Amino acid sequence: MKTNENKEAVIRDWLTKTGFPLELRVAREARRSRAHWVEQSRGFVDPETEKVRETDVVVGLGPERSTQANVVVVAECKAKPVPFIVFDDGGLLTDDARRRMTWAVSAAPRNEYGDGLYLRLKERAFTGGTLLGPSLVGFGIVAKEDRQKGQERNSAWDAVRSAVSAAHGLGPEFDSKTIENGDSPLLIFPVVVTTGELMRAYLSGDDLTVESVDRAEVLVRTAAQQTQVRCFVIRESAWPQLLREAQATTELFDVED
């Protein structure tokens, strides 16, 4: 009995150190939402390395009257108490919803000739309270951590790059589906969920201002892709709200060919 308890303790400690409790909580909250489906540890081919790896949690959401998802959220979970700091220019909110659509990874089912379906924003669609609503978009991110000599990695940048690469890597899987099966075109939104502090830093005049936030966004262009993708960076407490906004986003679109 003692031996089994020791083994269980070892496994529990290992799972905790590798961040699995956060992944499990993120997946549980997604299942409690109105998501069509939730997957964990989904494999994909990373376009950066051309190797197979896993992402943490993938959530498919769709309109209430549909069985098909048209919004997918890809969440990378970072259970480290290291503050992440997102930089922006301190400007006004960006409110161009159509431009924001181009900052997501798009995927579309195709017919036998390779022609696909696409999502179009409805006329007079109200984007407040959705993932396409007005917000500040940052241009950089850094982790506040003491780097060892010769160690120049930025774990915050690694996290957003990993999430964006996962979104790009999953895109071809949805592209390969066919119109005849009734599959819907969709937008894929990458998200980093952290248990650490999240800060926003910007210039007010020539002075640096830093403030705590629950959520931020940053544009990312990875080496393998030429397009910019918007990655959400959120504290764990903001995850339920992001899921609600993702669900609301599913009602914004018409489908066209």
What phi and psi, each to the nearest 5 degrees, are found at residue 91? -85, -165
Rounded Cα distance, 140 and 218, in Å: 6
pLDDT digits (tens, 9 = 90+) for 107-154: 887 777 767 788 999 998 899 999 999 999 999 999 998 776 666 789
- Tell me, rounded to whole angstroms, the distance of Cα 70 from its chain centroid: 15
Rounded Cα distance, 54 and 166, in Å: 8
Please name the residue that has the structure tokens 């940048």. Answer: 157
Smallest Cα–Cα separation from 253: which of 37, 109, 116, 97? Answer: 97
Average pLDDT score, the chain: 89
pTM of the model: 0.91
pLDDT digits (tens, 9 = 90+) for 214-252: 999 999 988 767 789 999 999 999 999 999 999 999 999
Note the maximum CA span of the chain: 66
Rounded Cα distance, 48 and 222, in Å: 8
